[in-house]
A and B are shown apart, each in its own frame.
Chain A
Amino acid sequence: MGFGPHLLLAVLEGLVTSAVLALTALGLSLVFGVMRVVNVAHGELFMLGAVLAWAVATAVGGSPALGFVAALVVAPLIVGAVAALAERLVLRRVDYDPEATIVATIGLLYILQQLALTFYGADARPVPPPFNIRLALPWFGYSAYKLSIVATSAVLLLLSWLVLTHTRAGLIMRATQYDRETAQAFGIPVGRVYAAVFAIGAMLAAIAAVLIVPISQAHYLMGQDPLLLSFAVVIIGGLGSLRGTVVAALLIGVSDGVISMFFSPTLAKLIATLAVAMVLVFRPQGLFGKAAR
């Protein structure tokens, strides 16, 4: 293959990475934006989604499509319930104190990881994709399932934007994000909003995990990379900014695909880390974030 086909393939692979990353990072960004909680356990909620996807798909059996659809519905719901429970039992008890929640979510990270190791084991296990169709592009064939990940992610991101900007639930979430005290003075039950946002953030990570697990594998240590890359995305894009999250996920995902293809994956990670450092130095609020008042 020549340069053109290689570039196209790199961009397509980068778009798939971006799609999964945008969903995962959106969850992290939403939780920080509304609750001011840096959820260090976000990657483990992603991992839990993947592990549960394998468990559900295996339990359902039958056709891969049926197992996958069941996993796509059930795994995020369970992960959301686990997150809501963690919010109630841990974060609420430390009154969402920024420093205490970092320590608390580090603890949650290890609890989830060790539970996965205990009950799921150390093996990496695949979930079969719901369909196996190859699209014939001019130079090579490409997995239709991978493109469906991009489409699904785009739909979910659009849906998230619509909910945040055009619904009463979104209005309540944004009011809580801007001023917790004033939100309470206008009848908004901030505690319930926090529980819902923490659960939704975790569910977004779990959906991303279910989508990626047919082309990756479920493993109890798989949460580390998504966490680090999600932090990179939200720092570059601006914490709490949906637009910034999408743009930064595209930047990181596509550049990762292209640089990995033509140079090396290590260099891609190095450049992403450098980009984070540059943003922190020259524009700490991120590309689309608002400066602290």
Chain B
Amino acid sequence: MSEILTVSGLDCFYGEVQVLHGLELALRRGEVLCLTGRNGAGKTTTLKAIMGLVRPRAGSIRMGGVELADLPAHEVPKQGIGYVPQGRRLFAEMTVRENLEIGLNTRKKGADTLESVLDLFPLLRERLKQQSGTLSGGEQQMLAMARALCLEPEILLLDEPTEGLMPSMIQKIRETVLALRRRGVSTILVEQRAEAVLALADRVTFVENGHCRETVGIAELKADPSALRRYVGIG
């Protein structure tokens, strides 16, 4: 499979504290790549750096022929990257429809896109006029994903989408990720739950102290889950 996104030699800092050290990453077209590691390993920062929300001091983030690290943050999603941040980060005082409109506006998508997204999340169709901050946690997560899908992204970045959700919602989110893979969307999924990693990922990259330590295929990991114990402390 060809690579749709490559990250190489990425150095990122918060103030003077270096959080990513020459990070290397490659996302193949149509795969689900799971980024996992302990808290503070640099997983979320990696996604933010791809989105241009944390500016790298060194390194490259390439999507096709475009160097994303050179673009202002608001131009990155226009290249076809949808982002579902940790904690959802909905515009809580806006309605469900307004949140989706923000997503649609990003790449000037219209009613057809909205319809196909609502087909994926039919529950949201009934809540279009509801203030998004009043939705349940699971519904908010669905909305966060729906908002990102309104871009019709080629790449989707999901930061701990099942965090704090009840099992039925976790199952729904997983089904959605798999449905998107079938549609050819390439996904980077930040996840710490072993069962989610094993159920969803095609490959897994282990992040530790701002370094990508190891990338393994899912079959290899299922055969030998010792890396999960080593880098995440589970499995």
Contact = CB atoms under 8 A, between A and B. Distances in A.
Partners in one complex: yes
A188 interface: yes
Interface string B94-123: 100010011101110000000000000000
A184 interface: yes
A168 B73 contact: no
Nearest to B93: A178
B53 A175 contact: no
A188 B89 CA distance: 15
Interface in A226-242: none
A171 B107 CA distance: 15
A172 B72 CA distance: 17
Interface string A162-206: 000000100110110011011111111110000000000000000
Interface secondary structure of A, over-half rule = helix
Contacts of A134: none
A185 B74 CA distance: 6
B206 interface: no
A178 B94 contact: yes
A88 interface: no
Nearest to B99: A175
Contacts of A179: 89, 91
Interface residues of A, number: 18
B92 A186 contact: no
**Max count, chain B CB within 10 A of own CB: residue among A172, A179, A183, A185:** A185
Given A175-B94, A178-B93, A290-B93, A184 B52 contact: yes
B101 to A, nearest CB: 6
Given A168-B105, A171-B101, A184 B74 contact: yes
Contact of A186 (B52, B72, B93, B102): B102
**Max count, chain B CB within 10 A of own CB: residue among A171, A184, A188, A189:** A184
Interface of B: 51-53, 72-78, 83, 85, 89, 91-94, 98, 101-103, 105-107, 147, 151
Given A178-B93, A184-B73, A186-B151, 14 more contacts: A171-B98, A171-B101, A171-B102, A171-B105, A174-B98, A175-B94, A181-B53, A181-B89, A183-B102, A186-B77, A186-B83, A187-B74, A187-B77, A188-B74
